[in-house]
A and B are shown apart, each in its own frame.
With several copies, the nearest count.
Chain A
Amino acid sequence: MITRTIFAGFGGQGVLLMGYVLSHGALHKGLNVTYFPSYGAEMRGGTANCTVTLSDKKIASPVASRPDVVVAMNGPSLEKFEPTVVENGLVFLNASLINEKPGRSDLQVIPVPVVELAQEAGSARGGNMVMIGAVCAKTGMLSLDETVEGMKAALKGKAKFFDQNRKAIERGFTFIEEGK
């Protein structure tokens, strides 16, 4: 089984960190993993994205021309990556920011109101953690524990953030599990 996920959004939305969390969690779980950030144009500003590939076998290319999962944290990202998702693929939307809906009807779309959920979990800045929680919960790529372990490894040394982030990840899980 091989799963390719693209996380995308504005520079400041912590999309690369989501990818780290997933990658570290997968390593913890014993999977093969590649993480590949957009290191795009040699210029400031703009959007960021990263591709995480998980597999139980050796991973050849770390690039995903046709991702299984897309996590869009803003409108331009949705626009850019929607066409690339595999048929019947999964699209997560930052519902706090994105009003548009994907045009394709084959896709399974999961809108996540990340800002609101993060606020509920204690800090409005934890939107990316909520989202990664939701992604892992929905796809089953990582369990809650594995996701939290991934987060800790990704933030190695910054223990003071662990607690808050765990709460946000949990909120993402419950959002999927409980549908709200």
Chain B
Amino acid sequence: MSTQVAYKQVFGWPESLKKNPTHYCPGCGHSIAHRLVAECLDELGIREKTIGVPPVGCAVLAYNYFNFDMVEAPHGRAMAVATGIKRVHPDKFVLTYQGDGDLAAIGTAETIHAGNRGERISAIFINNAIYGMTGGQMAPTTVLGQEATTAPGGRDPRLHGSPIDISRMLAVCDGVVYAERCSLTSVKNIRKAKKAIMKSFRCQLDDLGFSIVELLSPCPTNWKMPPKDAWAWINNEMVKTYPLGVIKDITGYEEAK
């Protein structure tokens, strides 16, 4: 492009992502999470041994974006599907990618028991506190007071229960070796999230057990906010219910640089 200054690409397209346009809304966290997963697989060089299980949720079409083998799971059952795959191919890398409705409502039993069995699976958990795909219904993770189409006056603990913290529940299981909560709403947080994903992947490669990375992720569409406000809402409000950080870590790994 230039003859005078040598420019080097420092940020580009990860191989583990197909070059298809995504269907995600402007400002949605799903596509960031996709990229982070893809970058980690690239860096570990395991794209070609990866088998992924997307959710039923906004990321149902993730197989159009991820550039590795993928199989659809019925809503909520990604962990069970992943278990089946991993038991057939213990030497392959298996990950699930799931929303909060998928992983923490209809899939609660599958999630808890995959964790409890210590399945060698890495779970990427997109917590956007709402049902995205179906149009903004309350999620188990919807925070108190937050509006949803099925919680018209905002979530009320008496009527709708309190937001669920499934990562903390998973931490109770012996088979879960690592659980961390990150957010996708700043350069720093995104980089942290990537490190967490990397660590989770290592847990599987090192045959330690089950691990989960929960990513607080904006859904501007259903929160009815411009992307920028949605990002700010996570940083200012959502983290009060879901504090960021390591929830469980018995990996024995030294802290990554």
Please list the residues of chain A having a beta carbon within 8 angstroms of any beta carbon in chain B. 42-46
Q: Please, which residues of chain B bring their CB within 8 A of the CB of A43?
A: 23, 58, 60-61, 133
B60 touches A45 (CB 8 A): no
CA distance A43 to B59 in the complex (A): 9
A44 touches B221 (CB 8 A): yes
Q: Please, which residues of chain B bring their CB within 8 A of the CB of A42?
A: 60, 133-134
Closest to A46 in B: B23
Please list the residues of chain B having a beta carbon within 8 angstroms of any beta carbon in chain A. 23-25, 28, 58, 60-61, 132-134, 221
Q: Please, which residues of chain A bring their CB within 8 A of the CB of B25?
A: 44-45
A44 touches B23 (CB 8 A): yes
Q: How far is the CB of B75 from chain A (nearest CB, A)?
A: 11
Q: Please, which residues of chain A bring their CB within 8 A of the CB of B61?
A: 43
A44 touches B60 (CB 8 A): no
Q: Please, which residues of chain A bring their CB within 8 A of the CB of B24?
A: 44-45
Question: Interface of chain A, helix or strand or loop or mixed?
Answer: loop
Q: How far is the CB of B30 from chain A (nearest CB, A)?
A: 9
Q: Please, which residues of chain A bring their CB within 8 A of the CB of B134?
A: 42
Q: Could you list some 20 contacts between A and B, CB below 8 A?
A: A42-B60, A42-B133, A42-B134, A43-B23, A43-B58, A43-B60, A43-B61, A43-B133, A44-B23, A44-B24, A44-B25, A44-B28, A44-B58, A44-B132, A44-B133, A44-B221, A45-B23, A45-B24, A45-B25, A46-B23
Q: Please, which residues of chain B bring their CB within 8 A of the CB of A44?
A: 23-25, 28, 58, 132-133, 221
Q: How far is the CB of A123 from chain B (nearest CB, A)?
A: 19
Q: How far is the CB of B10 from chain A (nearest CB, A)?
A: 30
Name 17 extra pairs, CB < 8 A, besides A43-B58, A44-B28: A42-B60, A42-B133, A42-B134, A43-B23, A43-B60, A43-B61, A43-B133, A44-B23, A44-B25, A44-B58, A44-B132, A44-B133, A44-B221, A45-B23, A45-B24, A45-B25, A46-B23
Q: How far is the CB of A48 from chain B (nearest CB, A)?
A: 13
CA distance A45 to B220 in the complex (A): 12
Q: Please, which residues of chain A bring their CB within 8 A of the CB of B132?
A: 44
Q: How far is the CB of B219 from chain A (nearest CB, A)?
A: 10
Q: How far is the CB of B41 from chain A (nearest CB, A)?
A: 25
Q: Please, which residues of chain A bring their CB within 8 A of the CB of B133?
A: 42-44
Best-buried of A42, A44, A46 by chain B (most CB within 10 Å): A44
Q: Please, which residues of chain B bring their CB within 8 A of the CB of A45?
A: 23-25
Q: How far is the CB of B65 from chain A (nearest CB, A)?
A: 13
Closest to B25 in A: A44
Q: How far is the CB of B115 from chain A (nearest CB, A)?
A: 28
CA distance A44 to B219 in the complex (A): 11
CA distance A46 to B133 in the complex (A): 14
CA distance A138 to B177 in the complex (A): 66
CA distance A43 to B62 in the complex (A): 12
CA distance A45 to B21 in the complex (A): 12
CA distance A42 to B23 in the complex (A): 11
CA distance A45 to B27 in the complex (A): 12
Closest to B26 in A: A45
CA distance A43 to B221 in the complex (A): 12
CA distance A42 to B131 in the complex (A): 12
